[in-house]
């Protein structure tokens, strides 16, 4: 239940050009209270509520910070952060293009491409916050998907070693069951506190979770 949002049953018209997976996606959106709320409130996507909840719980964003948004499309997280951060810089990348967001510097590209990592650091320098909602395309095989996300997370950790300020914060998408033991141990050595968090707005049937690491040593 999301306050003020009434979910109605809607029957989808048949469309021979629509794939099975996009029909499933559409069906979910139509009955998803957070997707409906985002539409009603003029936000880009339901993902905005996840970063709002993470921020409400951990008090992350402040004016004047340099923030990197990895896996930013369609732009809900950046849109939220730039409103709280009028004097800092927000820089974002994604494999997909986004509608421009005033005040956010965006580049389309792959985070794992060293040229993209150079572009990020050349344009913002050291970050106060690095946030990643990167979700590699899923194959349906949970163990394989988990490994791909862990490989990205590993790369993000190496990147934060070099480009996150001392005292800085890392927020990254991971899977339920937590970050792999090895990555978790690495994070605990590098940050003062490491917590897992599942926002209310993250679908209950999704294995998604977030790891919030505060106070880079």
Classify residue 168 as exposed, middle or buried by CB count within 10 Å of its CB (0-12, 13-18, 19+).
Answer: buried
Site string for ligand SAM, 35-54 (x = CB under 6 A): ---------xx-xx------
Q: Does 75 bind ligand SAM (CB under 6 A)?
A: yes
Nearer to ligand SAM, 35 or 47 (CB): 47
Q: Is 173 a catalytic residue?
A: yes
Q: What are the DSSP calls for 1-36, one per residue?
A: --TT------PPPP-TTS-HHHHHHHHHHHH-HHHH
Q: How far is CA 198 from the centre of its chain?
A: 12
Nearer to ligand SAM, 63 or 137 (CB): 137
- C-alpha 10/C-alpha 191 separation (Å) is 47
Structure tokens given for 158: 């190496």
Contacting ligand SAM (CB under 6 A), which of 74, 88, 168, 199?
74
Contacting ligand SAM (CB under 6 A), which of 81, 93, 101, 104?
93
DSSP letter (8 states) at residue 194: E
Q: Does 72 bind ligand SAM (CB under 6 A)?
A: yes
Contacting residues toward ligand SAM, per CB under 6 A: 44-45, 47-48, 71-77, 93-96, 110-112, 133-136
Report, as residue numbers or ranges, the catalytic residues. 173
């Amino acid at each position: 239940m999301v306050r003020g949002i009434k979910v109605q049953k809607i029957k989808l018209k048949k469309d021979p050009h629509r794939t099975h997976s996009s029909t499933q996606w559409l069906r979910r959106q139509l009955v998803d209270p957070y997707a409906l709320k985002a539409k009603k409130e003029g936000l880009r996507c339901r993902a905005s509520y996840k970063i709002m909840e993470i921020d409400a719980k951990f008090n992350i964003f402040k004016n004047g910070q340099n923030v990197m948004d990895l896996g930013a499309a369609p732009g809900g997280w950046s849109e939220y952060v730039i409103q709280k951060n009028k004097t800092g810089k927000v820089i974002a990348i994604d494999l997909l293009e986004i509608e421009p967001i005033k005040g956010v510097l965006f580049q389309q590209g792959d985070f794992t491409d060293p040229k993209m990592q150079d572009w990020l650091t050349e344009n913002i320098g050291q970050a106060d916050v690095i946030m990643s909602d990167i979700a590699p395309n899923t194959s349906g095989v949970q163990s394989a998907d988990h490994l791909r996300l862990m490989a990205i997370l590993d790369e993000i950790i190496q990147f934060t070693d070099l480009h996150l300020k001392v005292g800085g914060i890392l927020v990254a998408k991971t899977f339920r069951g937590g970050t792999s033991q090895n990555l978790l141990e690495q994070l605990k050595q590098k940050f003062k506190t490491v917590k897992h968090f599942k926002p209310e707005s993250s679908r209950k049937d999704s294995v998604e979770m977030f790891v919030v690491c505060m106070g880079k040593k």
